[in-house]
């Protein structure tokens, strides 16, 4: 039990592989009778470099060089050569007596023979039986987003990306919605798995999206099950670029752009603010702002437009250089990237340096080894709070105020009551930067034991060392509170090992195609944090030295943290596929996973899946069907496990520590004595969360394969979800809940995508669209009939009921404000939250419903918490539309994205209107002296008019021009390609939503509540692309 | 050859098949199972129970805030917000976690009691169990005064898998408290029996005083008097010459007037929850640049109580300036005079014109300096180092006077120590240069004496979290309070706070208190 051994590779492992390697090298062959050469060209007679030529029925073959020419020796004149190139129809030619064989390949718009990475193996596109989407990397390349996730936005149905405009931020990505509650219910447990060149990881700021060759998304349980415990939220498989045979290709891409916040919330000016403010305080503090003259106590000459003061146009630039090349037996790809993005509010910054080397070498006929390695550095300064402050800060507060010791303007008692921090001061005084170094490497060895049987070994290492430093000058930047000087530093270390053995067999017997795979996978992750923070100690006049060594603070102002954690998983997995006559396809997998997060006797879980496909278009009866070129229906069913819970949850925890411990002081001088008590209560039964899902889909190709349609329907449920069960507080536990496997969520929905590609002379184009809908609902929850978004009964905005949508709005229904007639018509003794309404108060409808939102019947003459009703639509339809075209030297891409049938809770408006210490939206018109149609302004949070109601529920539908790019290829004889382009992102948005940005997602139990995140930015950029 | 390759691959697969160690143990914290083995462990666990007194309970000001706002001692300066509604009995005092923190104290103390059996049995262990038993009783004492007796009955360490605690009643809860304290009293050392470096632990006198206070609340005056007599006769406690030293950080230490206190200090382990932060929100006025909030202010009733009687020299009661920062004081509050506060703090713009004073006991005064017209901002909030007195000797003396007055139907009979109710009141008054009551107001009847005692307790014990309990004992909590306008919105259901909803939802044994 005391084993805490680090990851070790046994010595005999290397010996074994040395033997295998030697075995491979000994196998030599020498034959060759007929020599043949020629050129492989495209439809325009240009040579196709890298086309492959295989001798049918053997493993022999070659690929074309940079000019599309090849030469090859075949054993006899009866040999058949198979010419293949991605995007072209495969051709077979018998050699005969020819010594020169030139072939012109015909383009295929959507290749069914395209090889798709499906996890621990590959499949031809036409053999796929699960729901696996292939992202269009051409569109991804035309995005200016700095990470992979954001470039996926809107491209794949069922894959939702919610991005924001903060530099370096990675969008929140969800495949088929939220189904895992996670330890904290935040929804973060729903992040999909990224597999980058076989390494299991997350999307990361340091990865260069320009290195991507292909992206596949495994959406349903029957496909993702092969990744078992890590894959319950879907898998995004990314393959990076490899060198191609032929002369070296040098690529240089450079772009420069300008970014700005596209929309503002129009806020009240000084005069408007003062009018509302006087109304608010008229009741609460009559003598404050008592002066009813135009000025009151505030200074009417002061006006600061904080949005104007704080926002700016910020530059973004991106530089990419890649070199690739290769021969028959080896290839290499090298790239370098530098990206720099500045912030539009405050001084955030994102900068990335990244290099990559991918290489592969064949040692003899049987052995291939290779690696992919990327190293990089990122610098990230995050927004330090100005965004909120910009909207909170009053228009009557000046940016700078020399009367204040700090020199910044801030609120005060009588003239400008706000506790907000001065946004400019936050920007100027606070420095916050994270510098991270990354390494992600993978080495592999592939050995062909005999024809059809392969052994592969993968070993990877993923490391990230980051350092965060934050410091600030002392200064008063807000009313009442003071920002003390201070400095904190934190070092984070993360590394993980990954090892994979795989044996794979593939063969065809007549019409029977069989493949089988067995694998062992092990992974261990380590994390370590160490930090120090100091409050005070940086008050040196003139200039401060921002290092721990230079602090003058007493030792009691220092605090330290340090901790470490380790997580290990081990898996045995296998897959069998069977195909009959390319008509009937069967795919079966099973996976056996063990996780260190669970106690020994519940540690292992077994997760099987099965899927099948029927290619109707290959049946004889289908031969007479016109127009349709390909039609396959498929169905899959799978069970996947999930282990997103925290480490060590099954072990009890004693609180016994100096920092933050339960210590007490004894003696006249108060000497500290260590104390201890039980901490988090252990749940020794905590185990795998599970997802089971049925997926039914169809793939259809029409009109000479120019139109391709893919449809999927899915219906699944999660169970044994980790959820915090609240404990009676009388248990006296340090945490008032315990983590248990006690919840379940259902999800169902559909996805549809279509693409039409055509070419007319020199004009070629494609139009594609996708649309998806997913609904998640609470299926099971021990002890509770529902989950609310907050425990504070008065501020509930959503409630998830059993079998109803997750995060359903649960609000008072507002029906304008009370007029005198309304008041007169009220029944005797009518109260709202025990208060008697007056003219101008918010009028809520007396539903008299119960906690489950069921109507109790008649109105009961009072409005209380039981008058909330489920209202609004939380689950929208998502869609994306793109159009790509090229004509002669011009190319054009336009991409729209949007949601429809969606209601959004406008937290911005709620926050600005109900907060007496912030500014107000300009269109907020509270009832005052007989005018105004918003509820009258009252001081404090407890007035019922301020309760969450349908007043803040708005139509959240939007239609956004996400990306537009126009390129021109300049004919230039020294280079093979010279393209210039201009592009724009988020150029316009059609929406009725009044918040900052309708592209939003709240957390799991309040998906439609605006989290008030940084808005997406409008970007104009221009760039060049050179290929030598 | 081909077969060898296959063979080797399979062998290597098997060899490597379990290279990951799935037994990972938390390196950041020990497990509970590895603890509670020695006498030293038991003491450490006991310190963990004591620590709950600091963390948000007495230390974070929760109990203080409730005692003040929900009694007639304090009101809320801002005429809005949750705190304001709590003070007026409109909202339940959830945010003060009184329920949760009381049960955490009970749980931590029962961990000590329940685990002691397997460690051994000796004088030290029995004494530590006695300390833990006192802490359980103290938590229940606070609970029953807020929620009444129909609270969760917990008499052991409860785990996640245990059934929810049953609903208590007056018999079961007071019975439990009584038996805990009666068991603890004989095994606990006297204050003088502890070495100096153990000052602050529960003493026999503390347990006897708490038992006496419990009997007072249940109107068992003879039983209460018996306990108080033992405490007073023990010779362990005195009234300090200087009243003010009870409420400042650098007063006498150890304090022989303190029967039980929560020990706060600055120089504990870093980051420890040992701040007494109550003072943060009790400033006379919110002050830009000083980090002072002004959430809770004294009602005019306290100030007026002091004005009713002058001291032996014809001056204001000397306890007034210790208790309140007021317009006649010569003391400084954060180094500023009252006049300076009037100027800087714009007192003329106070929300509530009636409130012209602020709390002064336990306030932290150090660390501020004037520079010209502006206050030099401190680097951070001052860390509260002032010990909080939970049971003070003067309180016990006045309670003994009250008990004697009730038992003997008047203030003139003596107890076994030879002191009358008048004598006890006079001890407290004379310390503060007030005329003896036996001179000022001789010959009071039982009810007149009780009325006088009610006044004496205000001027002596204001802000010390006893008034809330006093009002309940005297029946003055129930809608006949005229000292505090906050009580205008008191209704019958406010007799007890409701059992918290979060508790009722997961513990079906508990129900709402009457009226909710």
Tens of pLDDT along A851-897? 676 776 678 888 888 888 899 999 889 999 999 998 988 999 999 99
**Is residue A1021 within 8 Å of A982, Cβ to Cβ?**
yes
Closest to B20 (Cβ–Cβ): which among A557, A570, A647? A570
Q: State the pLDDT at residue B370.
A: 35
**Is residue A113 within 8 Å of A84, Cβ to Cβ?**
yes
Q: State the pLDDT at residue B354.
A: 63
Q: Closest chain B residue to A411 measured between Cα atoms?
A: B288
| Residue A824 CB-density burial (10 A; 0-12 exposed, 13-18 middle, 19+ buried) | exposed
Q: Does B16 touch chain A (CB under 8 A)?
A: yes
Which residue of A677, A791, A943 is the best one to mutate when testing the B interface, meaning the one whose CB has the most B CBs within 10 A?
A: A677
Residue ranges of E strands in B13-108: 74-76
- Span A991-1020, average pLDDT: 90
Closest to B17 (Cβ–Cβ): which among A520, A733, A791? A520
Q: Closest chain A residue to B151 measured between Cα atoms?
A: A730
Distance from CA of A306 to the nearest CA of B (A): 22
Q: Which string of DSSP letters, residue by residue, matches A315-332?
A: EEEEEEEEEEEE-SSEEE
Task: Measure the CA–CA gap between B168 and B174, rounded to whole angstroms.
Answer: 9
Task: Measure the CA–CA gap between B503 and B510, rounded to whole angstroms.
Answer: 8
The percent of residues in chain A predicted with pLDDT above 70, rounded, is 92
Whether residues B1 and A27 touch (CB distance < 8 A) is answered with: yes
Whether residues B270 and A558 touch (CB distance < 8 A) is answered with: yes
How many interface pairs between A and B have CB atoms less than 8 angstroms apart? Answer: 363
- Span A489-509, average pLDDT: 92
Taking CA A258 as the corner, what is the angle to CA A252 and CA A262, rounded to the nearest 5 degrees?
A: 135
Quick one: pLDDT band at residue A711, thresholds 50, 70, 90? very high
Using an 8 Å CB-CB cutoff, list chain A residues near B30.
653-654, 656
CB atoms within 10 A of CB A245: 21
Q: Is the peptide bond before B481 cis (omega within 30 degrees of 0)?
A: no
Whether residues A596 and B19 touch (CB distance < 8 A) is answered with: no
| Phi/psi of residue B358, nearest 5 degrees | -140, 165
Please tell me the least confidently modeled range out of A67-76, A290-299, A376-385, A831-840. Answer: A290-299
Q: State the pLDDT at residue B141.
A: 95
Using an 8 Å CB-CB cutoff, list chain B residues near A738.
160
Closest to A5 (Cβ–Cβ): which among B21, B99, B103? B21
Measured CA distances, B280 to A144, B128, B359, B466 (Å): 50, 34, 11, 21
Long-range pairs of B376-380 with CB within 8 A, sequence gap ≥ 24? B377/A405, B377/A474, B377/A476, B377/A482, B377/B289, B377/B290, B377/B291, B378/A482, B378/B290, B378/B291, B379/A474, B379/A484, B379/A485, B379/A535, B379/A536, B379/A539, B379/A557, B380/A482, B380/A484, B380/A535, B380/A536, B380/B291
User: Which of A108-117, A576-585, B421-430 has maximum average pLDDT?
Assistant: B421-430
More confident call, A179 vs A497: A497
**Is residue A538 within 8 Å of A429, Cβ to Cβ?**
no
Whether residues B380 and A484 touch (CB distance < 8 A) is answered with: yes
Distance from CA of B1 to the nearest CA of A (A): 7
* B 203-262 near A (Cβ less than 8 A): 253-254
Distance from CA of B198 to the nearest CA of A (A): 5
The answer on pLDDT for A378 being more than 90 is yes
ipTM: 0.89
Using an 8 Å CB-CB cutoff, list chain A residues near B9.
20, 447, 449, 455, 501, 503
Closest to B272 (Cβ–Cβ): which among A412, A557, A672? A672
Query: Could you tell me the maximum CA-CA distance found in chain A, to the nearest angstrom?
Result: 107
Q: State the pLDDT at residue B69.
A: 84
Whether residues A563 and B266 touch (CB distance < 8 A) is answered with: no
More confident call, A56 vs A195: A195
Distance from CA of A29 to the nearest CA of B (A): 14
In Å, how far from its chain's centre is CA A9?
34
Q: What pLDDT digit, counting tens, does each position of A647-694 carry? A: 888 999 999 988 778 888 888 877 788 999 999 888 889 999 999 999
- Span A477-487, average pLDDT: 77
**Is residue A646 within 8 Å of A673, Cβ to Cβ?**
no
Task: Measure the CA–CA gap between A798 and A788, rounded to whole angstroms.
Answer: 6
Write down the pTM of the prediction.
0.82
Nearest in space to A794 (alpha carbons), one of A867, A870, A724: A867
| Cα-trace Rg, chain B | 26
Task: Measure the CA–CA gap between A558 and B365, rounded to whole angstroms.
Answer: 23
Whether residues A669 and B265 touch (CB distance < 8 A) is answered with: yes
What's the mean pLDDT when you consider all of chain A? 85
**Is residue A672 within 8 Å of A166, Cβ to Cβ?**
no
Whether residues B5 and A523 touch (CB distance < 8 A) is answered with: no
If chain B, 516 residues long, is cut into consecutive pieces of 10 residues, what is the mean pLDDT of each piece?
57 60 89 94 95 75 78 78 77 74 95 94 95 97 92 94 93 96 97 92 97 96 96 95 87 89 62 53 65 78 91 92 88 78 60 71 60 38 72 97 96 92 96 93 94 96 90 84 81 84 88 81
């Amino acid at each position: 039990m005391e084993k805490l051994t680090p990851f070790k590779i046994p010595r005999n492992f290397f010996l074994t592989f040395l033997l295998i390697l030697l075995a491979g090298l000994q196998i030599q062959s020498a034959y060759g009778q007929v020599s043949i050469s020629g050129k492989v060209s495209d439809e325009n007679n240009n040579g196709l470099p890298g086309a492959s030529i295989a001798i049918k029925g053997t493993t022999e073959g070659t690929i074309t060089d940079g000019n599309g020419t090849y030469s090859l020796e075949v054993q006899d004149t009866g040999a058949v050569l198979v010419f293949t190139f991605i995007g072209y129809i495969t051709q077979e030619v018998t050699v005969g007596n020819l010594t020169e064989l030139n072939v012109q390949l015909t383009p295929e718009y959507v290749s069914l023979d395209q090889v798709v990475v499906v996890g621990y193996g590959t499949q031809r596109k036409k053999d796929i039986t699960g729901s696996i989407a292939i992202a269009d990397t051409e569109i991804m390349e035309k995005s200016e987003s700095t990470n992979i996730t954001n470039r996926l936005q809107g491209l794949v149905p069922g894959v939702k990306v919610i991005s924001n405009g903060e530099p370096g931020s990675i969008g929140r990505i969800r495949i088929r919605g939220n189904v895992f509650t996670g330890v904290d219910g935040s929804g973060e447990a729903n992040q999909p798995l990224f597999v980058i060149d076989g390494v299991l990881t997350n999307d990361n700021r340091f990865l260069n999206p320009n290195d991507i060759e292909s992206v596949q998304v495994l959406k349903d349980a029957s496909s993702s099950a092969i990744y078992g415990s890590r894959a319950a939220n879907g898998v995004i498989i990314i393959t990076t670029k490899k060198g191609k045979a032929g002369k070296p290709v040098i690529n240089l891409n450079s772009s420069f752009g300008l970014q700005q916040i596209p929309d503002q919330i129009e806020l009240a000016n000084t005069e408007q603010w003062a009018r509302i403010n006087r109304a608010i305080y008229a009741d609460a503090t009559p003598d404050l702002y008592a002066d009813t003259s135009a000025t009151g106590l505030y200074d009417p000459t002061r006006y600061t437009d904080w949005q104007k003061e704080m926002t700016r146009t910020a530059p973004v630039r991106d530089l990419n250089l890649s070199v690739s090349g290769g021969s028959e037996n080896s290839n290499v790809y090298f790239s370098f990237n530098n990206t720099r993005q500045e912030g539009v509010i405050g001084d955030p910054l994102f900068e990335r340096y990244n290099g990559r080397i991918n290489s592969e070498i064949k040692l003899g006929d049987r052995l291939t080894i290779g690696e992919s390695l990327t190293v990089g550095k990122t610098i990230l300064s995050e927004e330090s709070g100005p965004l909120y402050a910009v909207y909170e800060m009053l228009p009557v507060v000046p940016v700078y105020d020399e009367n204040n010791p700090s020199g910044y303007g801030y609120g005060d008692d009588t003239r400008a009551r706000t506790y907000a921090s001065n946004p400019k001061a936050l920007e100027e005084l606070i420095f916050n930067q994270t510098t991270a170094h990354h390494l992600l490497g993978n080495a592999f060895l592939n050995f062909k034991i005999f024809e059809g049987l392969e052994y592969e070994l993968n070993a990877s290492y993923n490391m990230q060392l980051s350092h965060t430093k934050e410091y600030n000058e002392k200064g008063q930047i807000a009313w009442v509170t003071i920002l003390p000087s201070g400095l904190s530093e934190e070092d984070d270390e993360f590394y993980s090992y990954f090892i994979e053995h795989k044996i794979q067999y593939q063969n065809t017997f007549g019409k029977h195609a069989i493949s089988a795979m067995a694998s062992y996978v092990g992974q261990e992750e380590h994390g370590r944090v160490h930090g120090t923070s100091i409050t005070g100690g940086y008050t040196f006049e003139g200039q401060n030295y921002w290092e721990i060594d230079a602090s003058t603070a007493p030792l009691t102002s220092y605090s330290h943290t340090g901790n470490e954690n380790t997580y290990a998983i081990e898996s045995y997995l296998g897959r069998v596929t069977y195909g009959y006559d390319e008509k009937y396809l069967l795919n079966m997998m099973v996976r056996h996973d063990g996780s260190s997060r669970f106690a020994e006797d519940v540690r292992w879980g077994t997760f099987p899946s099965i899927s099948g496909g029927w290619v109707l278009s290959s049946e004889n009866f289908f031969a007479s069907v016109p127009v349709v070129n390909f039609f396959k229906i498929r169905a899959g069913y799978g069970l996947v496990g999930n282990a997103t819970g925290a480490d060590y949850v099954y072990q009890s925890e004693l609180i016994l520590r100096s920092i933050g411990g339960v210590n007490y002081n004894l003696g006249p001088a108060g000497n500290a004595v260590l104390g201890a008590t039980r901490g988090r209560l252990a749940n020794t039964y905590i185990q795998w969360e599970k997802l089971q899902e049925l997926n039914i889909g169809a793939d259809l190709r029409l009109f000479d394969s120019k139109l391709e349609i893919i449809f999927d329907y899915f219906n699944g449920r999660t169970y044994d979800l980790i959820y915090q069960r609240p404990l009676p507080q009388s248990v006296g536990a340090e945490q008032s809940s315990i983590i248990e496997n006690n919840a379940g969520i259902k999800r169902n929905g559909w996805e549809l995508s279509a693409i039409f590609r055509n070419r007319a002379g020199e004009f070629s184009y494609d139009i594609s669209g996708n649309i998806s809908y997913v609904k998640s609902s609470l299926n099971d929850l021990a002890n509770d009939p529902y989950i609310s978004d907050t425990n504070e009964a008065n501020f509930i905005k959503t409630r998830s009921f059993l079998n109803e949508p997750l995060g359903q709005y649960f609000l008072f229904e507002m029906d304008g404000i009370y007029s005198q007639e309304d008041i007169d018509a009220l029944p005797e003794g009518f109260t709202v939250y025990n208060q008697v309404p007056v003219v101008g108060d918010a009028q809520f409808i007396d539903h008299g419903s119960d906690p489950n939102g069921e109507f109790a019947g008649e109105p009961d003459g009072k409005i209380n918490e039981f008058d909330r009703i489920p209202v609004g639509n939380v689950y929208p339809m998502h869609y994306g539309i793109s159009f790509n075209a090229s004509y002669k030297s011009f190319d054009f891409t336009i991409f729209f994205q949007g949601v429809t049938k969606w209601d959004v809770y406008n937290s911005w408006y709620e926050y600005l209107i109900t907060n007496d210490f912030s500014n107000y939206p300009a269109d907020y018109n509270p009832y005052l002296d007989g005018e105004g149609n918003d509820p009258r302004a009252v001081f404090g949070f407890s007035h019922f008019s301020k309760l969450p109601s349908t007043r803040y529920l708005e139509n959240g539908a939007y239609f956004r021009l996400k990306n537009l790019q126009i390129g021109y290829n300049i004919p230039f004889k020294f280079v093979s390609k010279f393209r210039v382009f201009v592009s724009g992102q988020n150029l316009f948005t059609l929406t009725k939503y009044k918040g900052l940005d309708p592209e939003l997602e709240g957390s799991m139990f309040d998906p439609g509540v605006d989290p008030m995140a940084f808005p997406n930015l409008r970007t104009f950029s221009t760039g060049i692309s050179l290929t030598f | 050859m081909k077969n060898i390759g296959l063979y080797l691959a399979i062998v290597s697969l098997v060899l490597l098949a379990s290279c990951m160690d799935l037994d990972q143990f938390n390196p950041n914290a020990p497990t509970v199972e590895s603890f509670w083995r020695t006498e030293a462990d038991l003491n450490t666990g006991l310190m963990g129970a004591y620590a709950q007194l600091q963390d948000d309970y007495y230390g974070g000001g929760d109990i203080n805030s409730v005692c003040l706002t929900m009694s007639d001692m304090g009101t809320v300066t801002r005429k809005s917000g949750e705190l304001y509604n709590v003070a007026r009995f409109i909202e339940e005092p959830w945010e003060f976690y009184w329920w949760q923190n009381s049960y955490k104290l009970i749980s931590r103390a029962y961990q000590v009691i329940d685990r002691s059996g397997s460690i051994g049995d000796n004088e030290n262990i029995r004494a530590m169990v006695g300390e833990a038993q006192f802490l359980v009783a103290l938590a229940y004492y606070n609970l029953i005064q807020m929620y009444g007796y129909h609270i969760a009955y917990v008499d052991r360490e409860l785990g996640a898998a245990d059934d929810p605690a049953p609903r208590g009643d007056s018999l079961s809860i007071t019975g439990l408290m009584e038996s805990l304290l009666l068991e603890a009293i004989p095994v606990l050392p006297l204050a003088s029996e502890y070495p100096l470096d153990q000052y602050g632990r529960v003493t026999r006198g503390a347990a006897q005083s708490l038992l006496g206070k419990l009997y007072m609340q249940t109107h068992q005056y003879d039983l209460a008097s018996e306990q108080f007599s033992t405490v007073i006769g023990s010779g362990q406690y005195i009234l300090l010459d200087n009243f003010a030293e009870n409420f400042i950080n650098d007063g006498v230490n150890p304090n022989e007037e303190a029967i039980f206190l929560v020990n706060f200090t600055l120089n504990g382990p870093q980051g420890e929850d040992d701040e007494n932060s109550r003072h943060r929100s009790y400033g006379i006025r919110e002050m830009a640049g000083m980090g002072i909030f002004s959430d809770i202010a004294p009602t005019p009733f306290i100030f007026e109580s002091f004005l009713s009687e002058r001291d032996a020299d014809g001056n204001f009661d000397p306890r007034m300036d210790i208790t309140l920062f007021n317009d006649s004081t010569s003391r400084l509050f954060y180094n500023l005079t009252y006049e300076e506060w009037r100027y800087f703090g714009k007192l003329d713009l106070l929300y509530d014109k009636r409130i012209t004073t602020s709390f002064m006991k336990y306030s932290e005064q150090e660390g501020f300096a004037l520079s010209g017209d502006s206050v030099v901002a401190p680097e951070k909030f001052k860390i509260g180092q002032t010990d909080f007195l939970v049971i003070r000797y003067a309180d016990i003396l006045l309670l003994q006077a009250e008990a004697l007055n009730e038992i003997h139907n008047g203030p003139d009979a003596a107890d076994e120590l030879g002191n009358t109710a008048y004598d006890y009141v006079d001890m407290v008054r004379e310390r503060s240069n007030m005329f003896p009551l036996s001179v000022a107001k001789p010959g009071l009847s039982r009810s007149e004496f009780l009325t006088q005692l009610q006044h004496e307790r205000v001027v002596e014990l204001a802000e010390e979290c006893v008034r809330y309990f006093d009002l309940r004992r005297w029946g003055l909590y129930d809608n006949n309070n005229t000292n505090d306008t906050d009580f205008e919105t008191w209704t019958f259901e406010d007799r007890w706070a409701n059992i918290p909803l979060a508790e009722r939802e997961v513990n079906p044994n508990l129900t709402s208190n009457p009226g909710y």
